[in-house]
């Protein structure tokens, strides 16, 4: 019996060795093909995934992936210019070896004043221009030459690009969202307003403006040129602080006046504040006034506080906003509504 068992065991060992060898070979072949398929896989790398996720979140190329800037997964894009943005601009100037050059005539560059541009426009009418009976048949909205050479950019504070600074400060300070409602008192030619209109939802930017030339510049040039006609801002002509055309049901998250109240009689400013108080969202809504509030300080601190209180308004303080890109700052005074 022992001998039979021993023989059976030895025979079993002899039989199992080829099977093990064959199994090992099959496993090796399978592993080889598996590794080959993995090495040729077109799956996205981690860096590709981050770009893809950013774009699907609505950030797109605005995300600074190349410089290590990442945005939250919600797709939020910051409103304000950041220090790293400024550093990026400086680096691009340095890397390209750029220096500010004199604005003189050179190949492909033809520097002219706005007066010269307007004269050329009237004399030569651009590269091609329909004449006679055909002149009015090819443009749905003819634009005056004065607007085409952007003379209206000199009507309000310089630099024109400083309007972006105002927008950034106000939008960031009030934590503005696209669904917010905004009213500007005296939007001029939309130096600031363009940025609000672009950011806000359709019909959520309102403005009261007295100057007809500025309004023509808004409707005939700025909104079409910026591709913002579809945003349908409600911009109304008026100089008496009358807001009935904006609708009785609209409640504003932000009401602001940039360098406007200092040019108006104190009595008219107070009339406007009285009418606006009921249109400002209680507690969270804000009124911002730039430069100074002499309409208030001329009354004296205690009297001004008392008068504001009678309107349901409260003075919150003074802000000094420094620009990151332009060598200037602006002073803003903040108010809120204290009663529902």
Q: Which CATH number belongs to the domain containing residue 182 in this structure?
A: 3.40.50.150
CA distance 253 to 72: 25
Has residue 265 been placed in a domain?
Answer: yes
Spatial contact of 149 and 114, defined as CB atoms under 8 Å apart: yes
**Structure-block tokens of residue 316:** 């919150």
Tell the burial category of 3 from Cβ atoms under 10 Å away from its Cβ (0-12, 13-18, 19+): exposed
Same domain (yes/no): 150, 163: no
Has residue 313 been placed in a domain?
Answer: yes
Same domain (yes/no): 172, 149: no
Has residue 11 been placed in a domain?
Answer: no
As for how many domains the chain has, the answer is 2
Of 213, 293, 288, nearest to 258 by C-alpha is 288
**Structure-block tokens of residue 43:** 């799956």
Same domain (yes/no): 116, 197: no
CA distance 294 to 296: 5
Q: Which domain holds residue 116?
A: 112-127+141-154
Has residue 2 been placed in a domain?
Answer: no
Q: What is the pTM of this model?
A: 0.74
**Structure-block tokens of residue 136:** 């009015």
Same domain (yes/no): 248, 185: yes
Has residue 96 been placed in a domain?
Answer: no
**Structure-block tokens of residue 120:** 């050329």
Same domain (yes/no): 178, 305: yes
Has residue 100 been placed in a domain?
Answer: no
Has residue 233 been placed in a domain?
Answer: yes
What tens-digit pLDDT sequence spans the chain (340 residues)?
Answer: 444 444 444 444 444 555 555 666 666 656 555 555 544 443 333 333 333 333 333 333 333 333 333 454 556 778 888 899 989 999 999 999 989 888 888 887 778 888 888 888 888 766 677 777 777 777 778 888 888 889 999 888 778 888 999 999 999 999 999 999 999 999 999 999 999 999 999 999 999 999 999 999 999 999 999 999 999 999 999 989 999 999 888 999 999 999 999 999 999 999 999 999 999 999 999 999 999 999 999 999 899 999 999 999 999 999 999 988 788 889 999 999 998 7
Same domain (yes/no): 261, 172: yes
Q: Which helix (H) or strand (E) holds 205?
A: strand 205-209
Same domain (yes/no): 122, 164: no
Same domain (yes/no): 119, 197: no
Same domain (yes/no): 208, 330: yes
Q: Which helix (H) or strand (E) holds 56?
A: helix 46-56
Same domain (yes/no): 121, 186: no
Q: Which helix (H) or strand (E) holds 182?
A: strand 182-185
Same domain (yes/no): 122, 271: no
Spatial contact of 281 and 252, defined as CB atoms under 8 Å apart: yes
Same domain (yes/no): 174, 145: no
CA distance 141 to 304: 48
Has residue 204 been placed in a domain?
Answer: yes
Query: CA of 306: how far to CAs of 300, 311, 313, 317, in Å?
Result: 10, 9, 10, 16
């Amino acid at each position: 019996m022992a001998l039979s068992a021993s023989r059976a065991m030895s025979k079993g060992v002899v039989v199992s060795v080829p099977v093990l060898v064959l199994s090992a070979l099959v496993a090796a072949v399978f592993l080889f093909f598996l590794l080959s398929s993995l090495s040729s896989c077109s799956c996205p790398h981690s860096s590709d995934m981050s770009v893809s996720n950013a774009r699907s979140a609505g950030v797109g190329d605005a995300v600074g992936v190349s410089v290590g800037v990442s945005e939250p997964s919600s797709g939020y894009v910051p409103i304000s210019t950041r220090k790293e943005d400024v550093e990026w601009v400086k680096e691009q100037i340095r890397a390209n070896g750029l220096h500010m050059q004199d604005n003189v005539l050179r190949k492909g560059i033809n520097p002219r004043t706005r007066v010269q541009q307007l004269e050329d426009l009237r004399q030569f009418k651009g590269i091609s221009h329909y004449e006679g009976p055909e002149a009015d048949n090819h443009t749905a909205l003819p634009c005056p030459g004065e607007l085409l050479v952007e003379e209206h950019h000199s009507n309000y504070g310089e630099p024109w690009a400083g309007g972006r600074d105002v927008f950034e400060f106000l939008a960031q300070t009030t934590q503005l969202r696209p669904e917010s409602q905004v009213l500007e008192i005296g939007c001029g030619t939309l130096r600031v307003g363009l940025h609000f209109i672009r950011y806000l939802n359709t019909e959520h930017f309102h403005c009261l403006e007295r100057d007809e030339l500025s309004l023509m510049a808004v409707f005939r040039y700025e909104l079409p040129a910026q591709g913002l006609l579809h945003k349908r801002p409600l911009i109304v002509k008026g100089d008496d602080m009358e807001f009935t055309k904006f609708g009785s049901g609209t409640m504003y998250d932000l009401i602001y006046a940039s360098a406007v109240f200092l040019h108006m009689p104190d009595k008219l400013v107070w009339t406007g504040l009285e009418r606006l108080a009921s249109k400002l969202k209680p507690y969270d809504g804000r009124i911002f006034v730039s430069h100074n509030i002499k309409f208030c300080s001329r009354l004296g601190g205690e009297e001004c506080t008392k008068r504001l209180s009678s309107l349901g308004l409260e003075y919150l303080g003074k802000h000094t906003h420094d620009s990151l890109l332009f060598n200037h700052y602006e002073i803003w005074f903040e108010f809120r509504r204290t009663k529902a």
